[in-house]
Structure 1
């Protein structure tokens, strides 16, 4: 028996904590306070003593009883000694080496084989798979991807757990308590932003995703869709700004109108807030003072790489990553703007201002459908490759509140997969077929107008190209296969023969005979 477990055994169980928490940065601190609001007593540790002191002070300010909900710890050993057995310890530390640093220190401190360590950071899913194997027999490694930012962490995030099913049975209630909640009838978030008054009813935005790594993979794709959604909103803004000479405040008002309908989402809501914000220094619109160079932490890139690896067409997600990359070439873009000419055409040469705005609304909606279709298609292909069984209706459900891409739109996706759990692609669902058929004319006009005026809309264009390619019975890949066979003898299948039979033309001979390739 370790010193930590002996100490726990000798302690009065009423004084022991329900959960241990390591890492008290922005997300960690807010997750701890969320746990406390839901009546969990939490033992906390961080290498930075100031963060420990900060969470204790915050708890003292927010709690409504005399009893402390947070127990500060000065070491890993002390943390373990404060916890009920078997322990549940949550990590909120940077992805990569810091996770293993903490895990190894917990081993040195005497963690038990039946104790659970939950990684809630932005870890690459393959790292989680490796860690489960590495720490097997020393403790139970479990992972949970978290979406929602600091506000979501504080008042209800979307949680995507994966790993040992037994571990899930032990933490399921905790996750259901702290997760965001939605009205099961409408799919709309049930929100409370009052400390100490958590939402206790509704459907929790968490579900067991599958084996270790599956949760972080789903979160990775969530972030890829997030990249695409943000870029699409930015392109609509750019077209209104450059093509219609609308002010940030006018565009903010347009977004607020859009947010009352089918485009209702957290990202549209905050975009309006950003566009309406004045710069405290200059008094100008803040957006005009922000450098147009976008940052990224890597999850969008991981999604694009995974799509390429498994052969899933996710060009809108990938294009959103490239758009951020291109924005980083600020100095070159400034030089190019002075040398490279664009068209001398107006986006309103044919359509009125309001007509263009209406077109952009529909273009954003249709492009958004395609971005989500690509994300869910990627998850489906990856699930087959890795042997996961992903419930896409449940995944759509847990994204309806708490997370960054939360939107009324996700209720329709939930219903699509509930109606047909074997749905191959969102674009084949009857509801989305009807929606695209209804709004694609404006989608095309919006993109055509932007192209004629020389305003980039790479994500919208890629979404339309994805749609047109997906609905195309015959693609020019037939010529491409002919090219490959010509220079590399890569063979081809014939339309009038079984696909598994392969053929080759002897291109370098005068006769150019066709030969059957036996494999």
Structure 2
């Protein structure tokens, strides 16, 4: 008896790939899978057998690219889950050699740089349809419902849409709360799927890049709140965990707050100490936060808190230097904190974290808005906020309010100008300022919390000191300036060194 053809080809059975394959299988798709490491395929088949029980096999392991294609009916749909960069190109060229055709679709689900995605679509347009889908949610999200950010050829999207909407995370449309069920073979089918077409080639990976930049900043903000409680209030990890758990019941309810509480509450199996106390304070990064910061600088769209989060990881890497500096460089004298002051500091931190989080999202969404204008994309920010409500790392109840803000005004210049968010910051900003001041006076670095506050204060300031800056630039470099009392766009220059009374000239 001939084996029925598979619906989807899948290349890459690493952590993310394996879980995406099992998710596809749970949703009724037969998958032909290939990986250069055959041991990974064996592990995949073993897990599939354990999970499906007496049901027929859902996954076929392949020994080559040619065999993979033979298991599929044309036009072929092949999903890649391989490391970003050269590996994506290598697989694409091998599939061309194996006989892939012009109507076939290859979908890159890796963390590719968005400009690489644009280049690949152009390079392969006569060979096959190159499509991309950024995936967020880690291995659990991949297995039971990720947030998906697809972009590229609209025709390809019509073929992929039902598949992605089936495997994506789901949310309750009214509350914005995730609908979660972590049961193999019993996927969530109700609710709104966290998968929506983003736009032309590269836009999905750009949106995912910004997602990761926001993720960097959100994590750093939480870490700064933790350090204040640890080093000013001398709270043990378990007590801080209890605070985070309490915060997770309010407006800060999010996946990152939830897992932070869990990490802080976990004991090390070897020493019995809090696990966080034996983890080296040296953070790594994979580059997406850096890409976001670089893009913000290139486009002139301020995202200082995202940049500070990247810098925070960079300075954490200077562990040996920091240990030496701690013995040489003095900080302020420590003050004794009363019980009443302790509770006040904790409340101030909560409010500071909430306000700074609003500013981080304002920075991220403004960066996407600027990129959309620059690259000719039409991005729907209400929909982007919706697909981040579940399945991804920055999922939070907070995103429901962001989606509603852009539904009220899809031309919103900045999230801070939305009436709801403007009111929220007005209500909590005094505690935000107190939290930053308390940390600074105690010598605790809060680069993310303070940069978010400076962003807010800069944005709400009608007259910034850039007038003096333009005067400086004109003095040493004849860079010219506009005048407040003349028509916009006209440039003026002062002959600074000609006489004691400089002459203003139109340039």
- TM-score normalised over the length of structure 1: 0.96
Are residue 80 (structure 1) and residue 69 (structure 2) matched?
yes
- Report if aligned partners of 1:159, 1:207 keep a CA contact under 8 Å in 2: yes
Task: Output the CA distance in 1 between the equivalents of 2:426 and 2:296.
Answer: 27
Question: Counterparts in 2 of 1:349-498, with a 5 A limit?
Answer: 352-498=341-487
Q: Who is 2:109 aligned against?
A: 120
Deviation at 1:498, TM superposition (A): 1.7
Aligned to 1:249: 238
Superposition deviation, residue 496 in structure 1:
1.1
The Cα shift of 1:345 comes to 3.5
- 1:99 corresponds to which of 83, 88, 92: 88
Give the secondary-structure state (helix, strand or coil) at the position aligned to 1:143.
strand
CA distance in 2, matches of 1:65, 1:31: 21
Match of 1:329 in 2: 318
- Is 1:277 the counterpart of 2:285? The answer is no
User: How far, CA to CA, are the matches of 2:22 and 2:161 in structure 1?
Assistant: 18
- Equivalent residue number for residue 289 of structure 1: 278
Partner of 1:131: 120
TM superposition shift of 1:16:
0.4
> Is the Cα contact below 8 Å between 1:42 and 1:71 reproduced in 2?
yes
Alignment of 1:514 onto 2:504: yes
**Matching residue of 1:27:** 16
Structure 2 counterpart of 1:221, from 205, 210, 214? 210
For 1:180 and 1:435, how far apart are their aligned partners in 2?
Answer: 29
Aligned to 2:133: 144
C-alpha deviation, 1:348, in angstroms: 3.3
**1:503 aligned residue:** 492
Give ranges in structure 1 of 5+ residues lacking alignment.
1-10
**Using the alignment, how far apart are the partners of 2:364 and 2:379 within structure 1?**
13
- 3-state SS, counterpart of residue 83 of structure 2: coil
Task: Determine if contact 1:347/1:449 at 8 Å carries over to the other structure.
Answer: no
**Separation in structure 1 between the aligned mates of residue 276 and residue 387 of structure 2, nearest angstrom:** 31
* Conserved 8 A contact 1:76-1:105: yes
1:306 corresponds in structure 2 to 295
- How many angstroms does 1:65 deviate by? 4.0
Structure 1 residue 264 and structure 2 residue 249: aligned?
A: no
Q: 1:349 Cα deviation (Å)? A: 7.1
1:327-359 deviation per Cα after TM superposition (whole angstroms, max 9, x unaligned): 000000001000100001427379611111000
Q: Which moved more, 1:79-88 or 1:406-415?
A: 79-88
Contact 1:243–1:347 (Cα < 8 Å) also in 2: no
**Cα deviation digits, residues 98-117 of structure 1 (max 9, x gap):** 00000000000000110000
Q: Tell me the residue number matched to 2:98.
A: 109
**Is the deviation greater in 38-47 or in 350-359?**
350-359
The aligned length equals: 506
3-state SS of paired residue (1:161):
strand
Look up the SS of the partner of 1:160 in the other structure.
strand
Secondary structure (helix, strand or coil) at the match of 1:352 reads helix
Cα distance in 2 for partners of 1:351, 1:439 equals: 19
* SS in structure 2 of the partner of residue 267 of structure 1: helix
After TM superposition, list the pairs within 5 Å mapping 1:184-223 onto structure 2: 184-223=173-212
SS in 2 for 1:232: helix
The 3-state SS of whatever aligns with 2:352 is: helix
Q: Secondary structure at the match of 2:372?
A: helix
Q: Secondary structure at the match of 1:122?
A: coil
CA deviation digits over 1:131-186, x for unaligned, max 9? 00010111100000000000000000000000000000000000000000000010
- Please give the secondary structure, in 1, of the residue aligned with 2:330: coil
Does the 8 Å CA contact 1:373/1:427 hold for their aligned counterparts?
A: yes
What TM-score does the superposition give when structure 2 sets the normalisation length? 0.99
- The C-alpha deviation readout for 1:281-302, integer Å capped at 9, x for no partner, is 1100010000000000000000
Q: Distance in 2 between matches of 1:249 and 1:87?
A: 52
Comparing 14-23 with 385-394, greater Cα deviation is found at 14-23
Q: CA deviation at 1:84?
A: 1.9
Is this contact kept in 2: 1:164–1:211, CA < 8 A? yes
Misfit runs of 4+, over 2 Å:
345-351
Corresponding residue for 1:163? 152
Residues 347 and 42 (structure 1), Cα distance of their counterparts in 2 relative to 1, 3 Å cut:
farther
Which stretches in structure 2 are left out of the alignment for 5+ residues? none
* Cα RMSD, aligned residues only: 1.1
Which segment is superposed worse, 324-333 or 56-65? Answer: 56-65
Residue 16 of structure 2 corresponds to residue 42 of structure 1:
no
Deviation readout 1:441-466 (Å, 9 max, x if unpaired): 00000110000111110000000000
Deviations, residues 67-118 of structure 1 (Å, cap 9, x unaligned): 1000000000000010122111000000000000000000000001100000
User: Which residue in the other structure is 2:228 paired with?
Assistant: 239
